[in-house]
A and B are shown apart, each in its own frame.
Chain A
């Protein structure tokens, strides 16, 4: 690692890999960093050493990552894996921890490509051992071939069906699939269907997964309400209401999923402006056509700025890289424009399906804003929905005041897993839109940092306190 780079890229998913490949091909000095030991991000995790022999289990879309990873491997970008980025300052000072040592370095341009995370699913019992997100289950499958027999899959969204389908392909028995997609979504998605028809093959793929799951004899139940997980010290059962009758399925593993949202913590802590997207029910980075944020030299590419999927992320990575190259005088305007044009067209095309998907798989209010007061919202500090509502009634006006009231969002995850639920909960209680609330102020270190590392931090410039 050097003290300074032309372009630093955070994240080795499709956006980061594409950006690094383009940027280094044009002679930029590029650093690319990721927490994971291998490239691929969430979508292509394990792509460079996949141990699953049968390629039909993970499917064609997964293996699309291969050529991207190959091109990246052939580039001469400095790749630092297994490292934690704990800050990107507005001055583009980057804090990295690797092998127990912390470093500060700088870059002329920073591309934040931190990808997506799964939306929280705060229902009673969601913090019990035995419950994990479907995405985590998929990570275990991709990275080490680990599976769990007789698990219940619950929730909504393409990823839920895909993972269940991958389980099916791998021959792992599934106890049940409980679909929480609100019935009314279909009607609301209908107006967006024309745009989505440009992606008929994607839609057909999704239908194929669901059809295969249903015809395999797996219990597939739709239209359920009041989902909850019960158990004493760990998961024992999942319960739900169907046509006004309570049902109970015994299970020791439950995989929850209701869509993915941008992983915004790093960009927010860097001072990048975000706004609430009511269609997607999450924070979006406020960026221009190049992905550039309000903070000079910091741009955001891929799902981290707004969900578009792996292919879109790849294009966004290329576009952000060309803009970074242009800003640092590595390519001329003309070269930038001719090179990004195909990517821009392809990106527009990619995005056409999104409004349909957003409407079709919009998670139900009851699973985003817990109605039961005892449901935990902030896992780190074990703050319940009831406690939050009580604080609001005491005059707590937004997520920042809530920290002072309840420590909610102040644990090691810094609100990563609760800030969406908290924002929606407060907005609902005050009958305002989330955009009217003050945003959670995030501060570095964005990821926990060992004090011993901080103490040994190699100082950049002499600075007095």
Chain B
């Protein structure tokens, strides 16, 4: 490897889904970019997440983004020559009692009030039709037709391949250790590489806070270890992705019959060591939630569990937008639901860099919302 100086039009820190997608969109506009990834592409959240692609239950500022992202997912093959295993089988959030159902009704109304009609209330009969295996006490739910899931590792790898085919240089095992201003450029250093460009995009996920700090911005990102578990093959009993209003749960069955469960139950994370530890107390809660909604799960056998390191912001929505210094852009801290936005955010960043119009409202995601930044 050479330590000789290299240049680019834009440097992207982090080879997760957002880093790779940003590089691809930039390259499609003729921008010469380099992605620096400390491990390998998809090693962290982007490669090991639950693959959920949902509009259902999004924080309000994210609703328009999730809606636009879904339209890209529907034709993802046109963009990156791979269908990413995307399946649009709907997502549903189950209510177990009247209080939960009325909370869901309020939610649906709030979303309708901002102009989106995708979240619809379903009654007990419709719920049964949708989820024949659901526990008999469940009385209804909130349903979004068209939501679904995709294969995360395959997705991030497809973005990587497409980006490379468009001329993007991706450097793996290349940790960014220092960023300094060098004239009009940002000079980015790594033990094996030194590279500079006028534009830098921080797509460093759970590590985004320290990259932001080196670029003069403040963001209180917490690195969390989110856990998932998967069962041995079972007979097919559920098609949509299922959540719960009263419990923390995310639940889906794959074509091969295995069932994946999660819901942001946390283990412990050591982001500096790339390490995570599982908490069986948390997984036990996850198991209780799953068996409560689907009694058939009592027969399930867990064969694997794991955790991925995700950057979570205090208000549970990401940082997307320009930084305070020239040429700095951020897209990180997706707070456990950034996979679904993967094919979109890079496009927004590219539009920002291009100086063009941003059709979607992104003000809520500005980095200056955190107190230590001088808000304007």
Binding site for B on A (CB under 8 A): 87, 89-90, 93, 95, 104, 394-395, 397, 401, 403-405, 407, 410-412, 414, 441, 443-445, 448-452, 454-457, 459-461, 463, 465
- Report B278-314 CB contacts with A as 1/0, cut-off 8 Å: 1111111101101100000111111111100000000
- The chain A residue sitting closest to B153, CB to CB, is A404
Interface CB pairs A-B, < 8 A, 19:
A104-B280, A394-B157, A404-B42, A404-B153, A404-B154, A407-B256, A410-B303, A411-B303, A445-B305, A448-B301, A448-B303, A452-B297, A454-B283, A454-B302, A455-B287, A457-B281, A457-B284, A465-B279, A465-B282
Quick check: is B332 within 8 A (CB to CB) of the other chain?
Answer: no
Q: Are A463 and B282 in contact (CB under 8 A)?
A: yes
Q: Which residues of B contact A459 (CB under 8 A)?
A: 281, 284
B245 contacts the other chain (CB 8 A): no
Within B248-290, which residues are at the interface with A (CB < 8 Å)? 248, 256, 265-266, 277-285, 287-288, 290
Q: B248: which A residues are within 8 A, CB to CB? A: 465
Q: Is B365 an interface residue (CB 8 A)?
A: no
**B303–A412 contact, CB under 8 A?**
yes
Chain A, residue nearest B173 (CB): A397
Q: Are A457 and B42 in contact, CB atoms less than 8 angstroms apart?
A: no
A414:B161 contact, CB within 8 angstroms: no
Once the chains are docked, how many angstroms separate the CA of A404 from the CA of B154? 7
In angstroms, Cα B249 to Cα A451, docked, is 14
Option from B160, B300, B303 in Cβ contact (under 8 Å) with A445: B303
A457 touches B280 (CB 8 A): yes
Q: Please name the residue on chain B nearest to A443 by beta carbon.
A: B306
Residue contact A455 to B284, C-beta cutoff 8 Å: yes
Q: Is B40 close to A, CB under 8 A? A: yes
Contact B154 A451 (CB under 8 A): no
Contact-residue size bin, chain B (C-beta under 8 Å from the other chain) = 35 or more
Residue B190 at the A interface, CB < 8 A? no
A95-B280, A395-B157, A397-B40 known; A451 vs B231 contact (CB < 8 Å): yes
User: Cβ of A450 and Cβ of B278 under 8 Å apart?
Assistant: no
List the A side residues contacting B278 at CB < 8 Å.
87, 89, 443-444
Query: CA of A456 to CA of B298 in the docked complex: distance in angstroms?
Result: 11
User: Any chain A CB within 8 A of the CB of B103?
Assistant: no
3 closest pairs, A vs B, by CB?
A404-B153, A455-B287, A457-B284
Contacts of B300 in A (CB 8 A): 450-452
* Residues of A contacting B: mostly: loop
CB pair A451 B291 closer than 8 Å: yes
Question: Binary interface profile of B, 181-207, with partner A (CB < 8 Å = 1, else 0)?
Answer: 000000000000000000000000000
Contact partner of B157 (CB less than 8 A), chosen from A95, A404, A441, is A404
Contact across chains for B305 and A444 when beta carbons are under 8 A apart: yes
Report B-chain residues with C-beta under 8 Å of the C-beta of A414. 303-304
Q: How far is the CA of A397 from the CA of B277 in the complex (A)?
A: 24
Across the interface, B291 reaches (CB within 8 A) one of A401, A443, A455, namely: A455
Most buried by A among B48, B154, B300, B303: B303
Minimum CB distance partner of B279 in chain A: A463
Contact B302 A90 (CB under 8 A): no
A158 to B202, CA, bound (A): 58
Q: Does B232 reach chain A (CB closer than 8 Å)? A: yes
| Interchain CA distance A445-B301 in the complex, whole Å | 10
Residue B243 is within 8 A (CB to CB) of chain A in the complex? no
Q: Does B47 interact with chain A (Cβ within 8 Å)? A: yes
Shortest B81–chain A CB gap in Å is 13
A412 touches B265 (CB 8 A): no
Task: Known A-B contacts: A443-B306, A450-B302. Give 16 more (CB < 8 A).
Answer: A87-B280, A93-B280, A95-B280, A104-B280, A411-B303, A444-B280, A445-B304, A448-B302, A451-B301, A452-B298, A454-B280, A454-B302, A457-B281, A457-B284, A459-B281, A465-B282
Q: Is the CB of B153 within 8 A of A405?
A: yes
**From residue A316, how far is it (CB to closest CB) to chain B in Å?**
28
B281 pairs with A463, CB closer than 8 A: yes
In the complex, the answer to whether A460 meets B302 with C-beta atoms within 8 Å is: no
Q: How many angstroms between the C-alpha atoms of A405 and B154 in the bound complex?
A: 7
Asked if B40 and A401 make an inter-chain contact with CB atoms under 8 angstroms apart, the answer reads yes
Chain A residues near B285 (CB, 8 Å)? 465
Task: Tell me the chain B residues, 20-45 only, with Cβ under 8 Å from chain A.
Answer: 40, 42
Bound complex: CA of A449 vs CA of B271, how far in Å?
Answer: 28
- CB-CB under 8 A for A454 and B287, given A414-B303, A448-B301: yes
Residues on B with C-beta less than 8 A from A460 are: 281
Q: A452 and B291 in contact (CB under 8 A), knowing A395-B157, A443-B278?
A: yes
Contact B288 A404 (CB under 8 A): no
Query: Once the chains are docked, how many angstroms separate the CA of A444 from the CA of B301?
Result: 13
Question: Would A445 and B281 be within 8 Å (CB), given that A401-B153, A451-B287 are in contact?
Answer: no
Q: CB-nearest residue of chain B relative to A460?
A: B281
Q: Return the chain B residue nearest A465 by Cβ.
A: B282
Query: In the complex, which residues of chain B have a beta carbon less than 8 angstroms from the beta carbon of A104?
Result: 280
Per-position 1/0 for B233-250, Cβ under 8 A of A:
000000000000000100
Alpha-carbon separation in the docked complex, A397 to B248 (Å): 35
Interface residue from A448, A456, A465 paired with B281 (Cβ < 8 Å): A465
CB contacts (< 8 Å) of B157 on chain A: these are 394-395, 404-405
Instruction: Write the nearest CB–CB distance from A373 to chain B, whole angstroms.
Output: 21
